[in-house]
Chain A
Amino acid sequence: SQQGEEDPQALSIQEGENATMNCSYKTSINNLQWYRQNSGRGLVHLILIRSNEREKHSGRLRVTLDTSKKSSSLLITASRAADTASYFCATALTRYSTLTFGKGIMLLVSP
């Protein structure tokens, strides 16, 4: 079964609004990563958060990690139409292990 499960499955917002996406996982992890995928393209790495970290920022992105709840959230502030994409969380069980991807969230940002 999937290690990471994102919700919601789809999110539609207006430009300028904030978008919050959640990811839950089942087992202990070493790190969790968020990726973006534009339609028909490869994935772009957004941010990596380690199990001993609680929050990380990168530009308009803010990621939190709650290991007690086995969950993470990705917040995109002041969204833009260009943020329209699918977003995936991926977990790594150890420092060197492969990634297990969730099913993804389709974000639509309307002008």
Chain B
Amino acid sequence: GAVVSQHPSWVICKSGTSVKIECRSLDFQATTMFWYRQFPKQSLMLMATSNEGSKATYEQGVEKDKFLINHASLTLSTLTVTSAHPEDSSFYICSATGQGMDQPQHFGDGTRLSIL
């Protein structure tokens, strides 16, 4: 089956640090990748959608300059949390879909981000 690798799985860093999270599709070409944020025992909230080679589409309320998304190839998208603060602490999950209609999303294992 389709595999999505997300790295790192856990990050602890000081306030003000920028953190980069990588999302890779290992065995398929991901034309679209999604970035979600999930708070404990809550649903996934879509942050942005990125298509290879174009700018990401951010959901309302998500700061573009805070959460930088790059989708430079069909197998890699990155999310950079710039100047992270404690309120940015959360579980971030990426997913990817291939070409075609009604494609399910294949998820990475998530990144637990803790800002001290």
Contacts and interface: CB of A to CB of B under 8 A. Distances in A.
B61 interface: no
Interface stretch (B40-48, B71-79, B82-90): B40-48
B109 A41 contact: yes
A96 B101 contact: yes
Given A42-B93, A42-B109, A43-B95, A98 B44 contact: no
Interface in A91-111: 92, 95-96, 98-104, 106
Interface residues of B, number: 22
B24 interface: no
Nearest to B106: A45
Interface string A19-57: 000000000001101010000111111001010000000
Dominant SS among interface residues on chain A: strand
Interface residues of A, number: 25
Contact of A50 (B4, B6, B34, B102): B102
B101 A33 contact: no
Contacts of B102: 30-31, 48, 50, 92, 95
Contacts of A96: 101
B93 A43 contact: yes
A68 interface: no
A95 B103 CA distance: 8
A60 to B, nearest CB: 18
Interface of A: 2, 30-31, 33, 35, 40-45, 48, 50, 88, 92, 95-96, 98-104, 106
23 contacts: A2-B43, A30-B102, A31-B102, A33-B104, A40-B91, A41-B109, A42-B95, A42-B108, A43-B44, A43-B93, A43-B105, A45-B107, A48-B102, A48-B104, A96-B101, A98-B34, A98-B49, A99-B46, A99-B105, A102-B43, A103-B42, A104-B41, A104-B43
